Amino acid sequence: MTSRSPGRTVTPAVSRRWVAGIRLFLSSAVLLAVVGAIGQGAGWVMLTTTLGPTAYVLLAHPESEAARLRNSSLGHATATAGGLACLALFGLWQHPSVVEQKHDTWPQIGAQALAVGLTLLLLELIEAQHPPAAATALLITSGIARPGPPLYGMLTGLALLIAGAALIAWAGRRSGTAGGTRSGGG
């Protein structure tokens, strides 16, 4: 069954995709704007590159294993612990970030590689897959989310994003739309 307008044919599957896409657009834009505004008020940068893929997994695929509250929380916590451990191991605690230097140093490359590998290993062992956590490990070991306000901002932003996405998913289940963003089919 299709609906017709002059020169166009729109299938129900295409209509559902548009509705789902608009819901994703609105929920992600509002959620990230709220996190950014809270960060602005606190004087911290909370919108870091790890929030984009996390928002995508949580909002676009709320029923996936990676979107589970346990996986997203443990994923970023594990990556944070691994990133901080690698900063200490490679003596990078006070080292300038890759942004400040405009390049990676060999110790940073080693810390970054080890932190991501360690994160993937630990997430596999505890059965808490969450791919965006690898970005958290890289942000910490590159010095972009160094210990102090940058790290606190990133972690607070992640916590707010995860809580907001969980609230959206809960509201969606109560209203009958999976995750609050996806409609069935297509």
**Has residue 8 got a pLDDT over 70?**
no
Nearest alpha-carbon partner for 148 in 102, 84, 105: 84
173: pLDDT confidence band, cut at 50, 70 and 90? confident
**Has residue 9 got a pLDDT over 80?**
no
Report how far residue 169's alpha carbon sits from residue 174's, in angstroms, rounded to the nearest whole number: 9
Report how far residue 147's alpha carbon sits from residue 141's, in angstroms, rounded to the nearest whole number: 10
Q: List Cβ neighbours of 116 (8 Å cut-off, separation of 6 or more).
A: 134, 137, 138
**Has residue 103 got a pLDDT over 80?**
yes
Please give the model's pTM, rounded to 2 decimal places. Answer: 0.84
Cα-Cα-Cα-Cα dihedral sign, residues 77, 68, 122, 138 = negative
Is 114 in contact with 89 (CB distance < 8 Å)? Answer: yes
**Has residue 34 got a pLDDT over 50?**
yes
**Has residue 141 got a pLDDT over 60?**
yes
91: pLDDT confidence band, cut at 50, 70 and 90? very high
Residue 33 structure tokens: 């704007």
Taking the CB of residue 175, how many other CB atoms lie within 10 A of it? Answer: 8
**Has residue 163 got a pLDDT over 90?**
yes
12: pLDDT confidence band, cut at 50, 70 and 90? confident
The pLDDT of residue 107 is: 96
Is 98 in contact with 142 (CB distance < 8 Å)? Answer: yes
